[in-house]
A and B are shown apart, each in its own frame.
Chain A
Amino acid sequence: MSKKTYATAIRDVIAEEMRRDENVFVMGEDIELLGGIFGCTRDLYKEFGTDRIRNTPISEAAMVGAGVGAACAGMRPIVELMYMDFTLVAADQIINQAAKTRYIFGGKAKIPLVIRGQQGIGRGNAATHSQSLETIFMHFPGIKVACPSNAADAAGLLRTAIRDDNPVMFFEHKALYASKFEVPDDPDFCVPFGKAEIKRTGKDVTIVGSLLYVSRALEAAAELEKIGIDAEVIDPRTMVPFDMDTIIESVKKTGKLVVVHEAHKVAGWGAEVVSEVVDGAFKYLDAAPIHLGAKACPLPFNIELENAVVPSVQQIVEAAKKVCYR
């Protein structure tokens, strides 16, 4: 194990996979000399050259589309988007091309493509650079969606993503890049997709959160412990495939559910979790589940306003108390 930041864990996996497989390459904006604005490709051009660590023009549709085409032609491209908000600029190439190509060609295509980058609050990037967009890409069949909440998961999930023969959307969180975590040194360390992690076991209430909201849910759990509520915290880790079974099993034990995410609450993935839990564990529920998410408001610039839009630790605590009738 080595203690690494989330950003370094990502960079190390990219480097290891590029050494392992010459078909892996990265293209994105400012990824050569600058190493990406968050340092996820820092200095990699020195080892791999600028053919494989490739700066692109600011052309997101062409970058992603070229990733699809290169994948069809036997490469394993990683496309770095500076902000995952820019997926919207490349939406056709992701949703109509990458996601559908295999199916519409009758299963003949393999698209080993990773589209990765960061999203979320925390840097005052305002409405068009602070969104949480994992939910919308869950809606389109044909793409996998990963959301690592710590450096070890970032490493293990990214390696799985690069080795997967399907397109993967890899949502990092900008506020996590500097966080440090023990990461296994094994160059084959993979975290499987579709396997949630129980971050804290508890018997009174199940709290589901991802990305930044894993640590916030754990903070809430520590608060709840002080008043005698024993919370179980679950990180789904991948949104597609989604490990609903682990959550349903947990709710069968606790009888209560709080789902929290940074993405907007309206039609957010938490609603899907509530729906599935109601379907799969209805008779075990002791209270109506609570779903927390960002208000239906663009992400504002001012930090106090930004914090007012997304769920707070206190709100998670209050929600957990409510479902526990406290």
Chain B
Amino acid sequence: MISKERKFWIYEIMNKIRYFELKALRLFEENKLRGSVHLYAGEEAVAAAVCSQLTDDDYITSTHRGHGHCIAKGAELDKAMAELMGKETGYCKGRSGSMHIADFTKGNLGANAIVGGGIPIATGAALAAKLQKNDKVAVSFFGDGASNEGTFHESLNLAAVWKLPIIFVCENNGFGISVPVAQSTSVENISDRAVGYGIPGVTIDGNDVFAVYEAFETAVKRAKSGDGPTLIECKTYRTLGHWTGDPQTYRDKKDVEMWRDTKDPIQLFKKRLVDAGDFTAAELDTVEEAAKAEADAAAEFAINSPNPDPADVMDDVFYEA
């Protein structure tokens, strides 16, 4: 059971992510934003339902498609957008752009531009939690492509052997850029690979907030009770291109339209909330409008923020006491 308050939070976060992404896409198209920008639109249920069960003390690592995880883990839209624009006011002072947003104060150990790069890091955070006996959990978000990286295998084995409090959340959106999963991956369900590590693996509809929530709730209980990790595969779909300029010649437009028009996680969740009488459509529309306004304001903030000073470019290579 998800509390009404938490449902509202999830809906709000999903909308913040969606409008942030649409705004980022617009800014990219207007040449106000450069670099590699990978949008999360269509996959919001995963980040929101997972992070609704975490506190600021729990850890996540994220991916190149990381805005959603970061926002769900507490990132403010204005600082995130400022980072996408490389501004001094951004989360990383303009050093990183879209793919490395981190906020250690919120337990976000960072998006990671190397596919599979964050999986061992989350595993290490879980090891720290175990050594410090502090009841924290770590979540590693990664995609279907990362499940073919060596770090996936090494980390799942390590976490299983050491019974670490970590949940591996695989977002299977069907493609590694242009390559369909069937062409790159030996199993139909990536969660089948959990058997090889002696840990539970589940495959769920990643566009269904309730399914993600329940699977994650079970996995957190297991992690906190000292039984070790779980692999959760969330089948989902990115309704925008791999990156902002992706011509998307590798997939049928009708598939994209089908996912966007009939399986959009925000619309599905909204219908469930209204049908259950949790909130009225009008109440939820207000949330949507507010998210849109917040994304617009974030863009304004970012546009009006100063660039970092090149004189400071060497700062922070090393920590200096």
A125 within 8 A of B: no
A165 CA / B321 CA spacing, docked (Å): 8
A69 adjacent to B93 (CB under 8 Å): no
| Interface residues in A, total, Cβ within 8 A | 42
Closest B residue to A241 by beta carbon equals B318
CB contacts under 8 Å to B, within A48-75, are 51-52, 56-57, 59, 61-75
A109 CA / B105 CA spacing, docked (Å): 10
A25 CA / B132 CA spacing, docked (Å): 12
A73 adjacent to B93 (CB under 8 Å): no
Residues of B within 8 A of A166 (CB): 318-319
B318 adjacent to A102 (CB under 8 Å): yes
Interface centre among A70, A75, A97 (most CB of B within 10 A): A70
User: A73 contacts which of B91, B102, B129 (Cβ < 8 Å)?
Assistant: B129
Q: How many residue pairs, one in A and one in B, have C-beta atoms under 8 Å apart?
A: 148
Stretch in B4-12, B31-39, B116-124, B207-215 with 4+ CB within 8 Å of A:
B116-124
CB contacts under 8 Å to A, within B126-147, are 126-129, 131-132, 136, 138
B203 within 8 A of A: no
A245 within 8 A of B: no
B23 within 8 A of A: no
Stretch in B44-52, B154-162, B227-235 with 4+ CB within 8 Å of A:
B154-162
A93 within 8 A of B: yes
B40 within 8 A of A: no
Residues of B within 8 A of A69 (CB): 59, 61, 109, 120-128, 138
Interface centre among A25, A71, A92 (most CB of B within 10 A): A92
A74 adjacent to B132 (CB under 8 Å): yes
A104 adjacent to B155 (CB under 8 Å): no
Closest A residue to B115 by beta carbon equals A92
Contact A96 B114, CB 8 Å, known A57-B154, A67-B124, A73-B128: yes
User: A75 contacts which of B96, B131, B315, B319 (Cβ < 8 Å)?
Assistant: B131
User: B121 contacts which of A51, A74, A97, A141 (Cβ < 8 Å)?
Assistant: A97
Give, as a whole number of angstroms, the nearest-CB distance from B64 to chain A: 12
A93 CA / B122 CA spacing, docked (Å): 12
B121 adjacent to A68 (CB under 8 Å): yes
A67 CA / B122 CA spacing, docked (Å): 10
Residues of A within 8 A of B92 (CB): 104-106, 108
Residues of B within 8 A of A93 (CB): 117, 120, 151
CB contacts under 8 Å to B, within A68-121, are 68-75, 77, 92-93, 96-97, 101-111
A291 within 8 A of B: no
A216 within 8 A of B: no
Residues of B within 8 A of A105 (CB): 91-92, 95-96, 100, 102, 104, 110
Residues of B within 8 A of A67 (CB): 124
Contact A71 B124, CB 8 Å, known A62-B155, A105-B102, A109-B102: yes
B316 within 8 A of A: yes
A104 adjacent to B96 (CB under 8 Å): yes
Interface centre among A59, A93, A102, A166 (most CB of B within 10 A): A59
A172 CA / B92 CA spacing, docked (Å): 35
Residues of A within 8 A of B122 (CB): 69
B66 within 8 A of A: no
A103 CA / B319 CA spacing, docked (Å): 9
Residues of A within 8 A of B127 (CB): 66, 69-70, 75
Contact A73 B316, CB 8 Å, known A101-B110, A105-B96, A106-B92: no
Chain B residues in the interface with A (C-beta under 8 A): 59, 61, 90-96, 100, 102-104, 109-110, 112, 114, 117, 119-129, 131-132, 136, 138, 150-151, 154-155, 157-158, 161, 315-319, 321
Beyond A69-B59, A105-B102, 4 additional contacts (C-beta under 8 Å) are A70-B124, A97-B114, A102-B316, A106-B96
